[in-house]
Structure 1
Amino acid sequence: MGGFRAVEDRPTPKEVYNWRLYTEAAIIATGSMLFGYDSAFVGTTLARSSFKKSFGITKENSNSINSNITSAFQAGAFWGAVFCFFLTERLGRKWALQINVLTFVIGAILMTVATNQLSYIYTGRVLTGIACGAITATVPSYIAELSISSIRGILTGLFEVAYQVGSVVGFWINYGISQNISSDSATSWRIPMAFQLVPGGMLLIGGFFLHESPLWLLRKNKDEQAYKVLVDLRKLPIEHPYVQEDLQAMRNRLAEEAIISQRYGFGAWAHFRGALSEFSRKGMRNRVFLVFCMFTLNNLSGASAINYYSPTLFGSLGITDVALYTGIYGLVKAIASIIYYVFLIDLIGRRRPVIVSSFVCSVCLWIVGTYVKIGNPAAKLAAGEELSASTVAGGRAATGMIMIYSIFWSFGLNGIPWIVSAEIFPGALRVFSGTWAALVQWAIQFPVTKALPYIFASFGFGTWYFFAGWMLLATVWAYFLLPETKALTLDQMDLIFGYNNDSRYKIPHTSMTKRFIDEGLVNQAATDDKIGSVHEEKSAEDRVESFQEGRNN
């Protein structure tokens, strides 16, 4: 049995697979729909003549204003991810999520009611960005802490599914508007702005029916409330062995956090300082750097550029019905992503998909750039010239390359960085590793989106070569430096990354990974080398006792 009723390596009562758990995971995952929609609707909306007229955007200032509007979201998202941890630790995951969703709704309202006040648009973009930055650092962990272990992966994967649904909706709303509402009408840009309130409102209302994270409740000494949450979500009495095992696992996790914090005291600040110290150790530093590389290459792949500036980039191919083709692009990307993350992720792993995906995406972008250079269709159409048959045929081929790119991108650096960054760190550090991943994502995406209009104006066809070059670099990087992490235990991760052992490697060695996995030597090597990690320093009982003593002092 698999899917939403996957069997664990322990007796699994049928009651734990229930509508309450699935519904709450789906509601929380709606958070990623907010920025999935944003990535799809902004580019086409800013290109509408009515929007330009309303806010005084001219040919001379369009690059500056468009890049400011687009990148204001990423700037806000960065700071949202920065402060999310402290807000969550103080108020809990449920109410931190609600505050961020309310912030998003306020930002969406400001953008919708703006008439000619560009300041409303900027402020709204920053507020929605702050909310989405915090959501990226909160939602996956929130779902994981409510879920049972056997379906934790697939429920957390709803985060990516919701993102893709949001992007498809954004692309096709713009297409529907372009077909039915004049681009000269202010309604054509207000509707997509206002539609942000739909997923935001759904999440805000649904959030009131969510349970708080039982792990957070235990951390705050609210044990009785944690017991009630587990009873409600598992549909089992608190005395049931399954629920008791869940509680013990959470107490072990808190004990690990206490071990990390013990040099600095107790509480969120001590945990934060202890985590920074742990991240600076040999065998952890390279994991931190690996996350940085993954998300940097993710943002330099060209995918976010196509999302945010689709009118400019598709227009360079000579495409006139931009809304239709961006809609098709988004739909293809969404279907490919859902197929991979639902059916294939645990079959074909992480490393090889990134290598193949990055190489094929690079080839596609080289071909597209070459077509734009030779055919120069956008300039010919702007001059009123008719395209030759060969240029038209080349345009179809280039468009096909974009669609192939979207398929292969979907099972490469699109979502694998989020998966790997969640797998390679011990549980006691995952709150911070998730925040670090979100910070890198938004910190790199900000300058890329800010600079892209200027890059395109300066490079022209070279913009496609620019991203193709980065994807080629990603291929080489993944081949030499990205280990396969599928199905590895934390002990095996420690061995590969050189944590608490004498490995001379400062980066994960893929040949080393493959040899250990193929020959089945990882566990033996871990025993022989007496590899330790944070979670091995004490027995489960000792960790719980240590943590309880700390809480009582």
Structure 2
Amino acid sequence: MAPTGKTVYNWYISLVAASCMVLYGYDASTFNALQNSTNWKNYFNHPTENIIGAINTSYTVGAVVAGFFFGGPLADWAGRRVGMAAGAILVIIATFMQCFAPRGNVGVFIAGRVVIGLGQGLALTAGPIYIGELSRPEVRGTIMSFWQMFYSVGSFIAYWVGYATAKHPGKLGDWDWKMVVIFQILMPILILAQVFFIPETPRWYIQHGNRLEEARAALHKVRDTEQEVEDELLAIREAIEFEAEAISSNYSALWKDRSIRKRLLLCMILNGGQQITGQGTLNSYSTIIYKKVFKDPAKIALINALNATFGILFTLNATWTVDRFGRKFLFIVGGIGMACCMITVAAVGSETPSPGDSKTQPVGIAIVFLMFLFALFYKPSWGATVWIYTGEIFSMNVRAQAVGMCSQTQNVVNSIVQQFFPIFLKNCSWYVFYFFAGINVMLALFVVFFIPETKKVSLEEIDTLFGGTNHVEAGGELVGAKDPHHAEVERVEITDEKRA
């Protein structure tokens, strides 16, 4: 069946929100690309390994602070669109701080990394919530898979710009790295140009003053029939009513509700696990790793660019698998596949000769192939599906704060790994990949025993999977609905003096 105009519009507004992930993908890849630039090293007086680790960590500090303390409250108080816009503005400010830092003053560059982390902490909290709250349950996973794909789009842009500048370091001078940095303002400008022309989520409208008409108008833009609109409005009202009456309408539910506490713990483990699969480290330090194999900076930049290009294609696998086979299936297959790749990389790297401090061409090609194969397993599973799962398992009363906290667990873990990895790699060389292999096996087993499947379950009823109450059915009694799952279009005003 051909998609309707409203379905196409639903995809459009979701992709505007998903553009926030381009900010993350670009920035996560930018510093990796800069480490390949001799001009950048000279500009900042050849930073030591500890300073390089600090530059990476500074970003995560900003992101963690924003995600844990500001992202959720801002998205709840001012709306999901404001959260995305505020993040985009901070990214623009930070881009100029990094690009035009005084020569030799790495402190300003690091401060810019902190500000960009703050911006992304805000945007990456609001974006997935927005997509989850406006998507139909049966295609929510498919649409959310584009969230991770846009991370790859950000990497794609950063690495290809990096490759282009790496070909002409003499002609460009300092602009061979400044150009990579300045291109980062492109996406936040595009987000700001569109974000206030898309509707706010109906769940936010109802949670803030029970603004039914505005919620109904938002839903009419993305649902095909009147019945769909009224059914979803009823389910949202029932869930919010129950959460306010039986649990808590504020963040205290994070520790009062046993079911939410359980979800918070499971989701933090998933998000932290995403960063110790090896992908986060590879994205920040692949240049250092490839220098053990190749000596030509342009060749290393090309490999990074091709990896980012294939990353887009690999992530697309999530669009047709996540709602067909489920989240749990992808987590398990991805974890096992990544473990096999890491074991093989460790074996190839450590057991082959290194004439002239670099590998022979056949060995180099084999290692690059294995890195690409690792990305094939990672992108649709622990890449895309972690974000899908995080954005859909929390109830409305805590969703913004919980998503912010869980998603920033990635940066808490990442900051630890990024700080010690350069030293770890220097001391242990290729054997570090055995560490990542073991982690991936443990993550797959964790999913087998502890993670319930959520595919095609509505946001308002997902609590039952974690030992909680069905918020729709329990809330139906509070609002006086005879059928909690089906609104009578002719009498949608049930128990609704507020609307009058």
Report the TM-score, using the length of structure 2 for normalisation.
Answer: 0.87
Partner residue of 1:475?
Answer: 444
For the pair 1:108 / 2:108, whether they are aligned, the reply is no
User: 1:104 touches 1:127 (CA, 8 Å); kept in 2?
Assistant: yes
Select the residue among 34, 41, 53 that pairs with 1:67: 53
Percent identity reads 20
How do 1:80-119 and structure 2 match up within 5 A?
Answer: 80-82=66-68, 83-116=70-103, 117-119=105-107
For the pair 1:356 / 2:333, whether they are aligned, the reply is yes
Partner residue of 1:166?
Answer: 154
Query: 2:152 is paired with a residue of what secondary structure?
Result: helix
Deviation string for 1:474-497 (max 9, x for gaps)? 233334434444345789966664
Deviation string for 1:530-553 (max 9, x for gaps)? xx444443425537999979x89x
Q: Which amino acid aligns with 1:44?
A: A
Q: Distance in 2 between matches of 1:215 and 1:225?
A: 12
Q: Distance in 1 between matches of 2:462 and 2:205?
A: 29
Select the residue among 473, 476, 484 that pairs with 1:539: 476
Partner residue of 2:488?
Answer: none
Q: Distance in 1 between matches of 2:183 and 2:136?
A: 34
* Higher alpha-carbon deviation: 430-439 or 200-209: 430-439
How do 1:232-251 and structure 2 match up within 5 A?
Answer: 233-234=221-222, 240-251=226-237
Question: Displacement of 1:191 after TM fit?
Answer: 0.4
Partner residue of 2:423?
Answer: 454
User: 1:318 touches 1:381 (CA, 8 Å); kept in 2?
Assistant: no
Deviation string for 1:422-472 (max 9, x for gaps)? 444445443343223213122111111122112212222222222222123
Q: Distance in 2 between matches of 1:153 and 1:368?
A: 31
Q: Distance in 1 between matches of 2:80 and 2:260?
A: 26
Question: Displacement of 1:225 after TM fit?
Answer: 6.5
Q: Distance in 1 between matches of 2:438 and 2:242?
A: 43
How do 1:102-251 and structure 2 match up within 5 A?
Answer: 102-116=89-103, 117-149=105-137, 151-182=139-170, 185-221=173-209, 223=211, 226=214, 229-230=217-218, 233-234=221-222, 240-251=226-237
Q: Which amino acid aligns with 1:381?
A: G
| Equivalent residues, number | 484
For the pair 1:346 / 2:323, whether they are aligned, the reply is yes
How do 1:334-413 and structure 2 match up within 5 A?
Answer: 334-338=312-316, 340-375=317-352, 377=354, 380-382=355-357, 391-413=360-382
For the pair 1:34 / 2:3, whether they are aligned, the reply is no
Q: 1:249 to 1:534 in 2, by over 3 A?
A: closer
Partner residue of 1:53?
Answer: 42
How do 1:260-299 and structure 2 match up within 5 A?
Answer: 260=246, 262=248, 271-278=250-257, 281=258, 283-299=259-275
User: 1:255 touches 1:546 (CA, 8 Å); kept in 2?
Assistant: no
Question: Displacement of 1:236 after TM fit?
Answer: 8.4
Gaps in structure 2 of 5+ consecutive residues: 482-492
Query: 1:221 is paired with a residue of what secondary structure?
Result: coil
How do 1:10-21 and structure 2 match up within 5 A?
Answer: 14=4, 16-19=6-9, 21=10
Deviation string for 1:482-520 (max 9, x for gaps)? 4444345789966664x26xxxxxxxxxxxxxxxxxxxx
Question: Displacement of 1:52 after TM fit?
Answer: 0.9
Query: 2:381 is paired with a residue of what secondary structure?
Result: coil
Report the TM-score, using the length of structure 1 for normalisation.
Answer: 0.79
Question: Displacement of 1:38 after TM fit?
Answer: 1.3
For the pair 1:331 / 2:309, whether they are aligned, the reply is yes
User: 1:181 touches 1:188 (CA, 8 Å); kept in 2?
Assistant: yes
Q: Distance in 1 between matches of 2:374 and 2:93?
A: 36
Question: Displacement of 1:195 after TM fit?
Answer: 0.4
Q: Which amino acid aligns with 1:328?
A: L
Query: 1:348 is paired with a residue of what secondary structure?
Result: coil
Rg larger in 1 or in 2? 1
Q: 1:381 to 1:479 in 2, by over 3 A?
A: farther
Query: 1:56 is paired with a residue of what secondary structure?
Result: coil
User: 1:364 touches 1:404 (CA, 8 Å); kept in 2?
Assistant: yes
Q: 1:466 to 1:313 in 2, by over 3 A?
A: same
* Higher alpha-carbon deviation: 353-362 or 125-134: 353-362
Q: Distance in 2 between matches of 1:534 and 1:406?
A: 38
Q: 1:456 to 1:244 in 2, by over 3 A?
A: same
CA root-mean-square deviation: 3.1
Q: 1:352 to 1:464 in 2, by over 3 A?
A: same
User: 1:355 touches 1:475 (CA, 8 Å); kept in 2?
Assistant: yes
Quick one: higher RCO (CA 8 Å, sep 6+), 1 or 2?
2
